[in-house]
Amino acid sequence: MNKAFKFRIYPNSEQEVLIGKTFGCVRFIYNKMLGDKIEYYKRTNQKLKNTPAQYKAEFEWLREVDSLALANAQMNLQTAYNNFFRKPKTGFPKFKSKRNNNKSYTTNFVNGNIKLENGCIVLPKLKAVKIKQHRAIPKEYKLKAVTVSQTATGKYFASILYEYEVTIETVQPKTFLGLDFSMKALFLSSDGISAEYPRYYRQLLEQLKREQKKLSLCQKGSKNRNKQRIKVAKIHEKVTNQRKDFLHKQSKQIADAVDAVCIEELDMKVMSQALNFGKSVMDNGFGMFVSMLNYKLMEQGKHLVKIDKWFPSSKKCSVCGIVKKTLLLSERTYHCEDCGMTMDRDYNASINIKTEGIRLLLG
């Protein structure tokens, strides 16, 4: 299995310059190779096989940065390019913008070129960079690659990928939990417990509006605009960190408590567009929560059961099983006209999701 550890790094001024140059070279080689592929395909109707090495003679400054970073850019482009032809729904690769404030490059572990020692991480071309290592790495883990990134606020991080061998015994499920998506609370469980998501984005929305208005009045390219951009980015970063912390804690708590979790398979992007509730749907990060829950359950040999999105979890009565023909989105309380049962709409749906999940998992 693979596992990544993300640590903050503190490069000196020379290292910052070289990291910035590597970001630029990776972006350049990606765009250059993509442009050549497009031009070649238009002329010959065939795919072009190009590599970073063939551009180094013309652009000698490409030799100044880590060659493995350029090779990974090539691999990323090739994957995106092939996916466009193999998978109909996949879009065509886009050129990388210089104005993107979130930058990164990936380098691979080859012949001991990457090391963690004496509070530093040794990287190709950069040598020793100070690192804030907040947890120990098990000795049996094998280092595979490192992704160096810079956030919009100017912070640098190193995401270190390790490979390790582990035998996971599948747990025979005895305890089950159904979760129904909630725009306000993240989810409502079949136990009647709500996540009570604090809605961090909404809390800072007024402050964000003020800072964004100031940013819009700044002259483009000025130092004041860049300072204001960082202020806006810090607010977004705070919301992101708060959200991730909350989701990690919730998913860990659930993964430790039950053997199987049942959820509906939802497309959050489509929901936010179709229902016109973009901020409410995307704010709580339900899709991210499901991903976290999935790998936490998998590490323990437990189960995540996904129910088909067309399953009538909200329209079905959890007591008698009668399915309503229509149920408006504004109706937050479910009332069954057949058996007389009345309960919260989301609670009723979570019970149905749990029942269907048990049926799918146990047969």
Selecting among 180, 211, 259, 356, the annotated active-site residue is 180
Are the C-beta atoms of 17 and 10 separated by less than 8 Å?
no
Own/partner long-range contacts of 112-119 (Cβ < 8 Å, ≥24 apart): 114/143, 114/146, 116/160
Can you tell me the distance from the alpha carbon of 129 to that of 12, in angstroms, rounded to the nearest whole number? 8
Can you tell me the distance from the alpha carbon of 233 to that of 113, in angstroms, rounded to the nearest whole number? 34
Has 36 been annotated as catalytic?
Answer: no
Has 299 been annotated as catalytic?
Answer: no
Tracing tokens 């709580």 back to the chain, one arrives at: 284
Where are the strands (E) in 97-245, listed by range?
103-108, 115-117, 120-123, 127-132, 142-150, 156-163, 176-182, 186-189
Which phi and psi (to 5°) does residue 243 adopt? -65, -50
Q: For the chain, give every domain's residue range.
A: 2-163, 176-362
> Which residues make Cβ contacts (< 8 Å) with residue 358, sequence separation at least 6?
176, 260, 262
Has 180 been annotated as catalytic?
Answer: yes
Instruction: Please give the DSSP secondary-structure letter assigned to residue 323.
Output: B
Selecting among 66, 211, 264, 283, the annotated active-site residue is 264
Query: What tens-digit pLDDT sequence spans the chain (363 residues)?
Result: 899 999 999 999 999 999 999 999 999 999 999 999 999 999 999 889 999 999 999 999 999 999 999 999 999 999 998 898 888 778 899 999 988 888 999 999 999 999 999 899 999 999 999 999 988 999 999 999 999 999 999 999 999 999 999 888 999 999 999 999 988 889 999 999 999 999 999 999 999 999 999 999 999 989 999 999 999 999 999 999 999 999 999 999 999 999 999 999 987 777 776 656 667 777 888 999 999 999 999 999 999 999 998 899 999 998 998 898 888 878 889 998 888 899 999 999 999 999 999 999 987
Selecting among 66, 259, 283, 346, the annotated active-site residue is 346
What are the helix (H) ranges across the chain? 13-44, 67-86, 200-203, 205-217, 223-257, 268-274, 278-283, 286-299, 345-362
Q: What separation, in Å, do the N-terminal and C-terminal C-alpha atoms of the chain show?
A: 29
Which phi and psi (to 5°) does residue 23 adopt? -55, -45
Sign (positive/negative) of CA torsion 113, 117, 118, 123? positive
Are the C-beta atoms of 51 and 74 separated by less than 8 Å?
yes
pTM comes to 0.87
